[in-house]
Structure formats: C-alpha cells, structure tokens
Structure 1
C-alpha cells in the first residue's frame, strides 16, 4: 500500500528495504518483558551501510526497546527477543551479549546521555574505548569534531551543560571505533539551536567518515532533515516507511509528527478522534 507521497504503509507484509547493502537487519523481531508484556510485534527494518536511518514514533511505540534489542541490553531489564532475528554485518547477533556487540562495531548513545559525572571529559572519552586500545588519533578525531570538548577536556562532566554532555556521549561512543552509531533521543532536553548543532555533527560524521547511523527521535523534523530513510512505529510495529524526503511530504506525517496539519499544532494519535488516515497503515 502506498500513501500519496510514495512512502510505503506497512500492513504486516514485507516491503522493499532502503537501497544499499544492509549493515543491520531486524527480521520479524518480537520482544517480551517479564515473560508477559509484548512490546515489539514482528518488527522488521533495515539500516544500509553508510546511511542515516531515523526511527520515529510517539512515547510507548517501542523505539527504545528496539535499540535495546539491537544493542543487547534487554536482559538487564528482564526483556528478551522471543522471535525473529537480528543480523549485523552478515552475522546473526540475536543471542550475542552486549559487550561482544560493541566489539563487533556497535556503539549506543543512550537516552539521557549517561556520562560519568564524576570523571573529566577526557576520562569519559578514554572510558569509551574500553573494548579496544585507544590512541591519540582517536582522541584527536573526537576533539576535531567537537572542539568544545577539547577546550573543556579537564572539566568534570557533571558540571557540563546538556549540549556539552550530548557531545561527550557521542564522542565517547566514537572512541569504540564503531561502524554503526545508535542514538536514542539525542535532542532530549536541548534548546532548538543546540539540537541543530548536534544533528549537524551527526550529518558530518556520516558524510565525511561514512559512519552508519540509526537515530531514534520524537523530533521528526530534525531527524528527517538529516536521514536518508525513515521508519515510523506504532504499538511495536513499523506502520510507515520510505525515503526521508518523501516522509516529510507525506500528509499523515505532516499532521501527526510535524505539526503541519490543516488545523495546526502538533498532534498525537491519542488526541485524534478520526482515524481514517491511520487505518490505511494498520
């Protein structure tokens, strides 16, 4: 099924993946917490090498659970993948532990940044290289992209601003030399100008270093501005996908995620009484 803009609505059947060789592939993944709470319901998506893919959705859609499934963090929250497969760089990693996934080339910036507040910026960066021996070149790379971190390298991270901590979280992830960088709500709690700055760094890392990025965001506009391909989640499923530019022009996305509907103002599905458009997806 195709929406007016050309983006593809998902109704359970497999659809065409974004162009390019896949680095990460989720195939009909089901996730359950505490043996009873079903969160992901047959979720499938592709992240091609060298692209930025945005995963969008409202609170409770299952976005963060998706990242935890990919990064291997579900067991720490009594969750598990009960069906489907996760393939990274041609290898099935569904049952691989989190540390091994980092060694395979994954890095995750968690929601809320989670820097080591009692350590300096420089010490935080060194901690990010725990799976491999870091070098001066690794630090130079981070400081080159984030010169503010170089200026503040001896400052204790707990005294840094939210924007500086987000830069630090990304820089710390880069210290592990990832081939896939995953970001969970990098715009959270940041002023609009800082959000643009952070996503500018993400774009540069992709364009200049070919870094593959999977970004989870509620700020659909800024995510789609830098992404090549986008997926939209509802209730643990992918309900809409397509090239980022087509999603930006899709009337459903405009109304429910970009706040550009005819009546104006950002909406959520819970606030909408008429589901005519949404029924095309589900």
Structure 2
C-alpha cells in the first residue's frame, strides 16, 4: 500500500508511510445486480504482497460480493462492476473472465466449501490444477500432503463423507493446487466447531509464513481473523468504514464493542446491553 492508516482511523483518513508492493488493488469499485441493486459503493482496498488481509463485516455488508468481483464470478449472478477498477499484479483485471484470472494467480475458496462430493480427496486436489494444463502434479500433491497430513491419510476417501473441518481443509488444499499468488477465503470458519476454527486459521497463518502466499480472508469471526492478519478492513453497506493494522483494530474501542463482542469493561455484552448501546460507531 502507498499509505499507512493512523490507528483506528475511519477509511480515507491516512498518514504518509513507507511504500509497499500491493498485489491486489481495488479502486472505487461499484457493483450492481440485475441493473438495479447497488451493493458495492465506491469500495477501495489494497492487499500487500506476502501479507494476510482480513475483510470484516456483518451479513449483507458486501464481503462475498467483493470476492466475486475480484474473482470474476459476478456474471453468474447477474452482477457487474459498473465503475472503478481492480488491479492484480499491476494488470487491470476488472473485466477479465474468471478462468483467465485463475491463470493469472487468483484462487478462491468459496463459502460452503463446494468440494466435489462424489470424487475422492486426491481427485478433488487434482481438479484444482486443471487450469495449469498438462503438468506433472505429483510434487504439488506431495507439497499439499506435507502441509495437510490429514488429507494424505484420507486421499482415497470419498470427499462427501468427510467432516466439515476436513472438507474445509480439502477446499483450501484444492485451491493451493492452482499455485495461486493470492488465496481468497470466504468465511472459512462457517459452521465449524471452535477447535476446528482455531486449526483452520493456524493453517492459514502457516501457509502464509512457509509459502509466502498472500491471503485475503473474508470473515464474520473478527477475533480469529485479526489474530492471524497483518492488516484489516471493516466493511458496512458496501463501503470500507475503518482500516488499520490488525493490532490497531483489535485495540479500537468500537471494533471491540461491535465486532469482538467486548464492552468498555472488557467483558462480553449481554443481549440487553446490545439493545442499548451507549456509544454509536464513530464512523456513522
């Protein structure tokens, strides 16, 4: 990124900082569905190369739409980018089709895993390398199995019989088989038990550190996401309303109250407290 936000700043209020290389840049993007419904409203964010960036927000904020805009999947849902630009590795990919973006190095793990349930674990992994053409993938399989030993043990099992956590691991492993430059994860913790969520995010951090892979993770579990992220964005109603380093967001009183479930006293708020907020979000 070309600038570094001040701690707890509202989006747009930034201070000069050292230049870094951005792998992905989204500039003032607007997205409309069915020529009528405006979902993204001038969205801007950046993902520095080799970092983990968390995009946080509640249901309906536009997080999944953001990933679909980046990955080129909007046309499948009658959506389109009507303004702004998406740059990946310095190349304008705003209107490229999804397959071409995968070839450039964009890989998406969609919400709900979407594995091929009738195929084995290994067949699912091999399918992730489809766009790379005729290649010897044995070394790639070995690399994924080394990162995810559980998948190696289950390579011959039919994927539909795996647990939710195992299927999420498989979905990530399949995405890695595409040899991405940017791995995008849409709600990887969805429907998983707390211990499995911890395991998934520990693996995301490991992939980033050991492979140098850039990661953009979309999450409602702000606590877990910020534990592994370098930088974070808070999104509401199709806009970025707050950004900063993961530590800055974790310490921001509004993020604590509205996204981490912590009040000023440091304890989790009760339902009655939630109905009577004493402080409105500062960005409203």
Identify whether the pair has TM-score above 0.5, normalized to the shorter chain. yes
CA shift for structure 1 position 6: 1.5
CA shift for structure 1 position 17: 8.5
Report matched runs for 1:271-282 at 5 Å.
272=275, 274=277, 276-278=279-281, 280-282=282-284
Are the equivalent residues in 1 in contact too, given 2:253–2:264 (CA < 8 A)?
no
TM-score, normalised with respect to structure 1: 0.92
Q: Which runs of 5+ in 1 are unaligned?
A: none
RMSD: 2.2
For 1:113 and 1:15, locate their aligned partners in 2 and report how far apart those are by CA, in whole Å: 39
CA shift for structure 1 position 7: 2.0
Equivalent residue, structure 1, for 2:216? 214
CA shift for structure 1 position 18: 9.0
Moved over 4 A (4+): 12-19, 271-276
Equivalent residue, structure 2, for 1:78? 78
**Range with bigger deviation, 207-216 or 254-263:** 254-263
Residues 275 and 28 (structure 1), Cα distance of their counterparts in 2 relative to 1, 3 Å cut: farther
For 1:134 and 1:275, locate their aligned partners in 2 and report how far apart those are by CA, in whole Å: 60
Are the equivalent residues in 2 in contact too, given 1:180–1:211 (CA < 8 A)?
yes
CA shift for structure 1 position 276: 4.8
CA shift for structure 1 position 267: 8.4
Match of 1:164 among 163, 166, 169: 166
Report matched runs for 1:131-170 at 5 Å.
131-132=131-132, 133-170=135-172
Count, aligned residues: 276
**Range with bigger deviation, 141-150 or 256-265:** 256-265
Report matched runs for 1:28-47 at 5 Å.
28-47=28-47
CA shift for structure 1 position 266: 5.8
Q: Which runs of 5+ in 2 are unaligned?
A: none
Q: Does residue 248 in structure 1 map to residue 244 in structure 2?
A: no
CA shift for structure 1 position 15: 7.2
Residues 242 and 14 (structure 1), Cα distance of their counterparts in 2 relative to 1, 3 Å cut: closer
For 1:96 and 1:275, locate their aligned partners in 2 and report how far apart those are by CA, in whole Å: 47
Q: Does residue 196 in structure 1 map to residue 236 in structure 2?
A: no
For 1:213 and 1:18, locate their aligned partners in 2 and report how far apart those are by CA, in whole Å: 21
Q: Does residue 6 in structure 1 map to residue 10 in structure 2?
A: no
TM-score, normalised with respect to structure 2: 0.92
Are the equivalent residues in 2 in contact too, given 1:126–1:134 (CA < 8 A)?
no
